[in-house]
Structure 1
Amino acid sequence: MKLFLIGFLSGIISGMGIGGGTILIPGLIIFSNLNQHQAQGINLAVFIPIATVALITHSRKKNIDLSTAAPIIFTGLIGAFIGSSIAVKMTPSFLRKVFAAFLFIMGAYETFGKKKK
């Protein structure tokens, strides 16, 4: 039941474009016997079908500008290769700390960062 709830909540967050991994990864680590590498790997596998549904929904609403997305997709693929190559060499403990620091920094920025008018 816990996995269904984690999936449901991460799907909602993913559909909003926030990133379901912020729910999925900590949820898997806290409520299962998975380590950081396994949780992040599962997140990647789960991301594809969830992102496909969200992509179709946002595309129908004309919320996707491919001229903006194309260079991000291209460089993101390169970055994903580099990042995953680095991540698999890290210990699960260190990777968990890097992930936690990233979430903390993003949370602080969203809370205290410069607001657009």
Structure 2
Amino acid sequence: MSVEIIVMYLVVGLIAGVLAGLLGVGGGVVIVPMLVFCFTKQGIQPDQIMHIALGTSLASIIFTSISSFMAHHKRGAVEWVIVKRIVPGILIGTFSGTFVASRLPTGFLKGFFCLFLFVIATQMLFNKKPSASRDLPGTGGMFGMGSLIGVVSALVGIGGGSLSVPFMIWCNVAAHRAIGTSAAIGFPIAIAGAAGYIVNNLGGADLPPYSLGFVYLPALVGIVCASMLTAPIGVKLAHALPVDKLKRIFALFLYAVAAKMAWGLIF
């Protein structure tokens, strides 16, 4: 493995860590597009690039989510009752989602991811938040919502925060507690998602060396090591910079990324 490849994935981790700490974004929104670019440059089989990007992204969230939800827990911002109620649906939905994703063509996954990016970018640009208009649903409703969040998270390689936070705010959970609880929910999403992407192509043909199913280990190690170093820097910058303005700028960047990926699908 060349030094260039190692440095490339360290850079991905450095960028992902800063953005996660600065803007509160991470997971697939940041990592997946960068991995698609890196895997293309590295010459990985085109029909597997998106699957490996999704699996590697979810595997990296296993490690990055731990420090996040522990920090929120220390501040008393994690509603563990909600976590307990929603996790069964999360686990089943995410694991099932990887089975669906592994059988979908990479073009469909890229298209779905582009659509997701457009939605997230619009939400960030206009700072749209749902109105608190109802209470949390019962056991069946929580299981259903957890399953939906899990399936979508598996299809786009995220920790679920962009879905679970609006859901909890809609259900009258305070914003800071919704964010903290979402961080805790991201851990089982990452576990189930990474396990699913590993199981679904363990020993598969045409995988790049050092792969474990659809998880590319060199990229995983580089991202985790580098992002853990730079996430605290992003947090410090968040207290010194105009974050709301930066989020709008980042939203425009997401539009550009989504448009580039969509252009590549069409032409």
Q: TM-score, normalised by structure 1?
A: 0.83
Alpha-carbon distance between aligned partners in 1 of 2:32 and 2:124, rounded to the nearest angstrom = 20
User: 2:20·2:26 contact (CA, 8 Å) conserved in 1?
Assistant: yes
**Residue 14 of structure 2, aligned match among 8, 12, 15:** 8
User: 2:50·2:109 contact (CA, 8 Å) conserved in 1?
Assistant: yes
Aligned to 2:56: 42
Which residues of 2 match residues 96-111 of structure 1 at below 5 A? Answer: 96-111=110-125
Which whole-Å deviations, capped at 9, do the CAs of 1:59-81 have from their partners, x for residues lacking one?
11222111122222221112102
Alignment-mate amino acid for residue 50 of structure 1:
T
Aligned to 2:102: 88
- How big is the shift at 1:93? 1.4
Alpha-carbon distance between aligned partners in 1 of 2:20 and 2:84, rounded to the nearest angstrom = 20
Aligned to 2:28: 21
Alpha-carbon distance between aligned partners in 2 of 1:10 and 1:72, rounded to the nearest angstrom = 27
Alignment-mate amino acid for residue 71 of structure 2:
T
Which whole-Å deviations, capped at 9, do the CAs of 1:23-77 have from their partners, x for residues lacking one?
1110011123351001011112111111112122221122211112222222111
Alpha-carbon distance between aligned partners in 2 of 1:92 and 1:109, rounded to the nearest angstrom = 26
Aligned to 2:39: 32
Q: Cα RMSD between the aligned structures?
A: 2.2
**Residue 64 of structure 1, aligned match among 75, 78, 94:** 78
Higher relative contact order (CA 8 A, sep 6+): 2
- How big is the shift at 1:101? 0.7
Q: For the structure 1 residues 36 and 57, does the alpha-carbon distance in structure 2 shift closer, same or farther, using more than 3 Å as the test?
A: same
Identity of aligned residues (%): 27
Gaps of 5+ in 1: none
User: 2:27·2:58 contact (CA, 8 Å) conserved in 1?
Assistant: no
Gaps of 5+ in 2: 1-6, 132-267
- How big is the shift at 1:90? 0.5
- How big is the shift at 1:82? 2.2
Q: Which 10-residue stretch deviates more, 65-74 or 11-20?
A: 11-20
> What SS does structure 2 have at the residue aligned with 1:19?
coil
Q: TM-score, normalised by structure 2?
A: 0.39
